[in-house]
Amino acid sequence: MNKFPHHDIIHSIKEVDTPFYLYDMDLLHTTLVAAKAAADRRGYVIHYAVKANNNHPILAAMRDIGFGTDCVSGNEVARSLEVGFDASMVDFAGIGKTDEEIEVGLDAGIFSFNVESLEEMEVIDELAGKRGKKANVSLRINPNIDAHTHKNITTGLSENKFGLDLTLLPKLVDNIRKFQHVSIKGLHFHIGSQITDLEVFKQLAVKASQLNDYFLNQGFQFEHINLGGGLGVSYHHPTQKRMVDFESFFKIFEENLTLPVGTKVHFELGRSLVAQCGILISKVVYVKAGLSKRFLILDGGMTDLIRPALYQAFHLTENICRDEEAEKYDVVGPICESTDIFGEDVLLSKSYRGDLIAIYTTGAYGQVMSSKYNMRDRAKAYYVSQGKLYSEESYLGE
């Protein structure tokens, strides 16, 4: 036991209706400072991937430290602008941008549209022309690199739906000069998520350098290269490995990128910045005896955290109310689906109705992917800063 980092506010937590997300804003700040320092030493630019967590206090922390945003919908672009990010730091990726979403970016004058097909380029060119504007675009190239991660979060193989395939580059070069209302500013890559093998990023750096040289030989000198994100975190040891090694991550690119002088290098980190600062807190509703199993039935379920059901993802789980001899439980939620399981044969302190259960590493792709299936209420968010517990409204009002 004694893993839970917020025992000092446990009594306040007991008074809050469960399930809820608890965000450690001090850990978030420490993480952002470390990431920015490692990037600044090399002149790199960080855009925060809004899809990881779009809560206002999280976005405000990204804004205040000087990061931009990486968006995959028009609403994420609008949200970034509402929170106060400068449009010149807002990136818009995604393979299915609608006309209306593109128009949001055009009207704002965002940093770049990351274009994933010639068909998309044609639409952006047409819409920009109608508005008398010129759109900044980057070409998202699919480098065909295996990220060695879960198949559902791999994005850089030739069989994936994302990006421009390498075999299409000659056709691309032949066609992109005809567009009059786009300004091609750079290249963009993103090969997957939750990547823990840094050798993969070395491959990306080498391939990105080669592709930049290819376009340079075709007469295109880009202002920037965006290497995406995907840096993985520790789900098994979240309290011991509360922050990733940003220095080693950026060093990989420093040592393996070969770009013309003056080319800016951008990244779009998400999970590695916010995952460990979030914990889902749920309450034991029943301890049910099965024939050979014991079920710990929580009031939180896959509507609050879908990653175990969607990706078979592991999240460290702990009873934060007790420190007794461990027993095995299948930790499940109340949703009317057999996939509503957080973990099978999980070792926990002997648990009782009313105990609080902490599910770690849920700051990324947790609350942001929640739903109201079964007409359930969405879990609220609370924030810990300097030992005090805040609601979102009270935290922002500080």
The count of other CB atoms within 10 Å of the CB of residue 249 is: 22
Q: What is the mean pLDDT of residues 256-274?
A: 97
* Least confidently predicted of 60-64, 125-129, 177-181: 177-181
Which residues make beta-bridge pairs with 184? Answer: 137
- The overall average pLDDT reported for the chain is 93
Least confident of 154-158, 252-256, 289-293, 329-333: 154-158
Count of CB atoms within 10 A of residue 110's CB?
Answer: 25
Q: Which CATH number fits domain 7-21+276-397: 2.40.37.10, 3.40.190.10, 1.10.10.10, 3.40.50.300?
A: 2.40.37.10
- Quickly list DSSP for 99-164: HHHHHHHHHHT-SEEEE--HHHHHHHHHHHHHTT--EEEEEEEE------S-GGGB--STTSSSSE
Question: Which one has a higher pLDDT value, 29 or 6?
Answer: 29
CA distance 156 to 162: 7
Distance in angstroms (rounded) separating the CA atoms of residues 348 and 328: 6
User: What whole-number distance in Å separates Cα of residue 168 and Cα of residue 343?
Assistant: 43
Would the pLDDT of 297 be above 70? Answer: yes
Least confident of 91-105, 143-157, 161-175: 143-157
The residues spanned by each domain of the chain are: 7-21+276-397, 25-274
**How many Cβ atoms are within 10 Å of 209's Cβ, its own excluded?**
16
Has residue 154 got a pLDDT over 50? no
CA atoms within 13 A on the CB side of 393: 1
Percent of the chain with pLDDT over 90: 84
The CATH code for residues 25-274 is 3.20.20.10
C-alpha 285/C-alpha 25 separation (Å) is: 29
How would you class 111 by CB atoms within 10 Å of its CB: exposed for 0-12, middle for 13-18, buried for 19 or more?
A: buried
pLDDT band at 159 (very low <50, low <70, confident <90, very high): low
pLDDT of residue 376: 97
pLDDT band at 152 (very low <50, low <70, confident <90, very high): very low
Residue 267 buriedness (CB in 10 A; 0-12 / 13-18 / 19+): buried
> b or e along 180-207 (b: 16 or more beta carbons within 10 Å of the residue's beta carbon)?
ebbebbbbbbbbbbbbeeeebbebbbeb
Burial of 336 per CB tally in 10 Å (0-12, 13-18, 19+)? exposed
How many angstroms separate the CA atoms of 349 and 346, rounded?
10
221-264: pLDDT as tens digits = 999 999 999 999 999 999 999 999 999 999 999 999 999 999 99
DSSP state of 207: H
Amino acid 214 reads Y
Query: Higher pLDDT residue, 362 or 158?
Result: 362
CA–CA dist 33, 268 (Å, integer): 16
Q: Give residue for tokens 């078979």.
A: 312
* Cis amide linkage into residue 170, ω under 30° from 0: no
Measured in whole angstroms, the distance separating CA 306 from the mean position of its chain's CA atoms is 15
Which tens digit of pLDDT belongs to each residue from 331-387?
A: 999 999 999 999 999 999 999 999 999 999 999 999 999 999 999 999 999 999 999
Indicate whether 99 pLDDT > 60.
yes
**7-21+276-397 and 25-274 share one CATH topology?**
no
Res 398: pLDDT:
64
Dihedral sign, CA of 162, 168, 170, 174?
negative
pLDDT band of residue 153 (cuts 50, 70, 90) is very low
pLDDT over 60 (residue 268): yes
DSSP class of residue 377 equals: P
Q: Where are the beta strands (DSSP E) in the chain?
A: 20-24, 45-49, 68-71, 90-92, 112-115, 135-142, 164-165, 182-188, 224-226, 264-269, 278-289, 294-298, 317-319, 326-332, 341-349, 356-359, 380-385, 388-391
**pLDDT, mean of residues 176-190:** 94
